[in-house]
Amino acid sequence: MAKVQLKNLEKVYGNAFKAVHGINLDIDDGEFMVFVGPSGCAKSTTLRMVAGLEEISGGEVVIGDRRVNDLPPGKRSIAMVFQNYALYPHMKVRGNLAFGLKIAGKPKAEINEAIDRVAKILEIEALLDRLPKQLSGGQAQRVALGRALIKKPGVFLFDEPLSNLDAKLRASMRVRITELHRQLKAEGLSSTVIYVTHDQTEAMTMGDRICVMQAGHIMQVATPKGLYECPANLFVAGFIGSPEMNLIDARLDGSSFSVGSQSLPIGPHLEGRLSARPAEAVVGTRPQHLSLVADGPAFTAKLANAEFMGHEVYLHADLEGRRVVSVVGTADFEALGRSEIIRLRPEPERLHIFDKTDGRNVSL
Ligand code: ADP
Ligand code: MG
């Protein structure tokens, strides 16, 4: 069993800076949990407290059924993979893989068997006799993965492991890591993962669940679909999804909402979801859900720019002095001809209303 629990976890650094503000999180055995958030939000600090590399200032970390606060990293049943690989430069790949098991005093035959198994999984058999400096970035990262895997830990901890790779390699390593996780689970090996990244695409594509963090607080924990469809607050709404959700200051007046001098009916669907009617509201609509329409209720906006992406076009338009983005099909864009004034309709089923004062989504 390697579930991980964070209970009122706090970190205050030596300079009295409070980096982690009492967070609570339960990660299931075998779950792939992603910590995502902007740089400086305390993802690494939190992960390093789980790993035992950073002292815990308050609260508890529980791995399996053990409180591990006072256990050294080597006793926590974890393995960590870092951004910079941290391979021993003077040892060949084989030596790097063997290192942890040698220290643990495992017999030679067992170590060799483990190396063969891991090398096969990661397709690094041909690299075993090379030094780290003779490896490409992607190969070095696979060796670093292998070094974690060979320990058969209860929990894998990853801190931005793909940040040093180019975009193409990052995309393929992403798939490799998720497939590896699935494979380990299928083999009955407990393989709980905590994966730290600032990249929302990595978070969305890899996580069973995602924990969105900001300034040492958890903003929301949910599945990728849950975060995308039901962001709990403005921060999550703006952070998850690409292009970013349009977040537009608005007023709720009776049965309509207004942006500048333009109004649209709230409609029964959204009305039914409203748990409050904030005086200062922000409406949120994703660019994919802001459609170009010929008639019916819609906002009128002035087209400012069109980015051609191949199968779709990102329209940038000015709506009452606010910039909005709409993703439309290429054919719809071409049908526009030369007209500069466009009509944009937010899909009512996918519209969000936030309270501007506290950022809360009042339309879930
Ligand atoms: P992230 O990994 O999300 O980018 P970190 O966990 O590295 O964020 O840092 C969280 C916050 O703690 C940041 O504001 C950072 O400047 C601060 N911090 C990190 N390490 C130290 C330290 N040793 N002493 C003081 N402040 C630190
Ligand atoms: Mg970090």
pLDDT digits (tens, 9 = 90+) for 32-55: 999 999 999 999 999 999 999 999
Kindly state whether residue 302 falls inside one of the protein's structural domains.
Answer: yes
Ligand sitting nearest the alpha carbon of 39: 1
How many Å lie between the centroid of ligand 2 and the Cα of residue 16? 19
How many Å lie between the centroid of ligand 2 and the Cα of residue 41? 8
Kindly state whether residue 201 falls inside one of the protein's structural domains.
Answer: yes
Ligand sitting nearest the alpha carbon of 36: 1
Kindly state whether residue 237 falls inside one of the protein's structural domains.
Answer: no
Given ligand 1 and candidates 9, 36, 45, which is best to mutate, with the most ligand atoms within 8 Å of its CB?
45
Based on the domain organization, do 91 and 68 belong to the same domain? yes
Based on the domain organization, do 109 and 200 belong to the same domain? yes
Based on the domain organization, do 96 and 156 belong to the same domain? yes
pLDDT digits (tens, 9 = 90+) for 2-32: 899 999 999 999 999 999 999 999 999 999 9
CB 13 less than 6 A from any atom of ligand 1: yes
Based on the domain organization, do 121 and 70 belong to the same domain? yes
Determine which residue's CA is closest to atom 10 belonging to ligand 1: 42
- The last residue of one of the domains, among 186, 207, 232, is 232
CB 40 less than 6 A from any atom of ligand 1: yes
Kindly state whether residue 81 falls inside one of the protein's structural domains.
Answer: yes
- The last residue of one of the domains, among 232, 259, 288, is 232
**CB contact set of 290 (below 8 Å; sequence gap of 6+):** 246, 324, 325, 326, 327, 344, 345, 346, 347
- Across 317-342, average pLDDT: 93
Based on the domain organization, do 217 and 247 belong to the same domain? no
Residue labelled with tokens 């409406």: 283
Based on the domain organization, do 217 and 296 belong to the same domain? no
Determine which residue's CA is closest to atom 15 belonging to ligand 1: 40
CATH number at residue 326: 2.40.50.140
Kindly state whether residue 361 falls inside one of the protein's structural domains.
Answer: no
Based on the domain organization, do 210 and 262 belong to the same domain? no
pLDDT digits (tens, 9 = 90+) for 185-218: 888 776 899 999 999 999 999 999 999 999 999 9
How many Å lie between the centroid of ligand 2 and the Cα of residue 48? 10
Given ligand 1 and candidates 17, 55, 157, which is best to mutate, with the most ligand atoms within 8 Å of its CB?
17
Range of the domain at 264: 243-355
What does the alpha-carbon distance between residue 129 and residue 95 come to, in Å, rounded to a whole number? 9
How many Å lie between the centroid of ligand 1 and the Cα of residue 60? 19
- Across 321-327, average pLDDT: 97
User: Would you state the structure tokens that stand for residue 299, as one six-digit string?
Assistant: 């906002």
CATH number at residue 14: 3.40.50.300
pLDDT at residue number 338: 81
CA distances from 290 to 229, 232, 299, 320, 327 (A): 15, 20, 10, 16, 7
pTM for the model stands at 0.94
Contact 249, 262 (CB under 8 A): no
What does the alpha-carbon distance between residue 3 and residue 97 come to, in Å, rounded to a whole number? 26
- Across 305-310, average pLDDT: 94
pLDDT digits (tens, 9 = 90+) for 75-118: 999 999 988 778 999 999 999 999 989 988 999 999 999 999 99
pLDDT at residue number 107: 95
Element (H, E) at 234: helix 234-239
User: Would you state the structure tokens that stand for residue 23, as one six-digit string?
Assistant: 């967070």
Question: Ligand 1: which atom is nearest the Cα of residue 45?
Answer: 6
Based on the domain organization, do 110 and 9 belong to the same domain? yes
**Above pLDDT 90, what percent of the chain?**
81
How many Å lie between the centroid of ligand 1 and the Cα of residue 40? 6
Q: Collapsing DSSP states into helix, strand and coil, what is residue 164?
A: coil
Kindly state whether residue 238 falls inside one of the protein's structural domains.
Answer: no
Number of domains the chain contains: 2
Given ligand 1 and candidates 9, 12, 13, 47, which is best to mutate, with the most ligand atoms within 8 Å of its CB?
13
Where helices occur in 259-303 by DSSP H, the ranges are 267-273
Based on the domain organization, do 164 and 252 belong to the same domain? no
- Across 330-342, average pLDDT: 89
What does the alpha-carbon distance between residue 88 and residue 92 come to, in Å, rounded to a whole number? 8
The overall average pLDDT reported for the chain is 94
Q: Using pLDDT thresholds of 50, 70 and 90, give the confidence band for residue 1.
A: low
Based on the domain organization, do 165 and 217 belong to the same domain? yes
Q: Collapsing DSSP states into helix, strand and coil, what is residue 168?
A: helix
Please, how many CA atoms are within 13 Å of residue 204, restricted to the half-sphere of its CB?
14
- The last residue of one of the domains, among 198, 232, 266, is 232
- Across 120-130, average pLDDT: 92
Q: What is the arrangement of strands in the sheet containing 312-319, beginning at the earlier edge strand?
A: 290-292, 341-346, 299-308, 312-319, 322-329
Based on the domain organization, do 255 and 318 belong to the same domain? yes
Based on the domain organization, do 316 and 210 belong to the same domain? no
Q: What is the DSSP string of 171-227?
A: HHHHHHHHHHHHHHHHTT---EEEEEES-HHHHHHH-SEEEEEETTEEEEEE-HHHH
Q: Collapsing DSSP states into helix, strand and coil, what is residue 298?
A: coil
